[in-house]
């Protein structure tokens, strides 16, 4: 899970600030990291009956799906598809930023709320 998170972080930072490798390298690295991070987070289970914790787990899963979608959206411009003219930011196609921001906000919300709720339950 940590390796996937580091891969995603490296791919994003390198893609935005230090594009040294071929452009297709960064979306593939991000997608591999998102798949690893998302799959490991989806494997975590909660078998209790607390509604708040179950809702937070569903938000985490939604965030994982959004991260994987971000990787696919990063790949699509390299394949010559998916262009939204009204969201075109500068000269690069950055439509993938929308699901990334949504996923990051959901992860940030759940990472702070979930431990508190688990502590309350015990």
The two structure tokens encoding residue 60: 């985490």
Burial of 119 (0-12, 13-18, 19+ CB in 10 A): exposed
Taking the C-alpha atoms of residue 23 and residue 80, their distance in angstroms, rounded to an integer, is 13
pLDDT digits (tens, 9 = 90+) for 18-60: 878 887 888 899 999 999 999 999 888 888 888 999 999 999 9
Question: Mean pLDDT over residues 69-97, rounded?
Answer: 67
Residue 21, C-beta contacts closer than 8 angstroms, at least 6 positions apart: 14
> Up-side HSE of residue 90: CA atoms within 13 Å toward CB?
4
DSSP 61: H
Report the predicted TM-score, pTM, of the whole model to 2 decimal places. 0.81
Provide, for the chain, the percentages of residues in helix, strand and coil under a 3-state DSSP scheme, each rounded to the nearest 5.
75, 0, 25
CB 95 within 8 A of CB 87: yes
pLDDT digits (tens, 9 = 90+) for 97-117: 889 999 999 999 999 999 898
């Amino acid at each position: 899970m940590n390796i996937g998170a580091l891969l995603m972080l490296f791919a994003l930072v390198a893609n935005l600030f230090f594009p040294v490798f071929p452009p297709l390298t960064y979306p593939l690295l991000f997608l591999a990291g998102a798949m690893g991070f998302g799959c490991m987070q989806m494997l975590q289970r909660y078998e209790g009956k607390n509604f708040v914790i179950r809702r937070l787990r569903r938000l985490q899963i939604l965030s994982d799906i959004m991260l994987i979608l971000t990787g696919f959206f990063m790949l699509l411009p390299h394949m010559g598809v998916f262009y939204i003219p009204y969201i075109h930011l500068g000269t690069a196609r950055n439509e993938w930023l929308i699901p990334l921001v949504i996923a990051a906000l959901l992860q940030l919300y759940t990472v702070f709320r979930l431990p508190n709720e688990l502590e309350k339950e015990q």
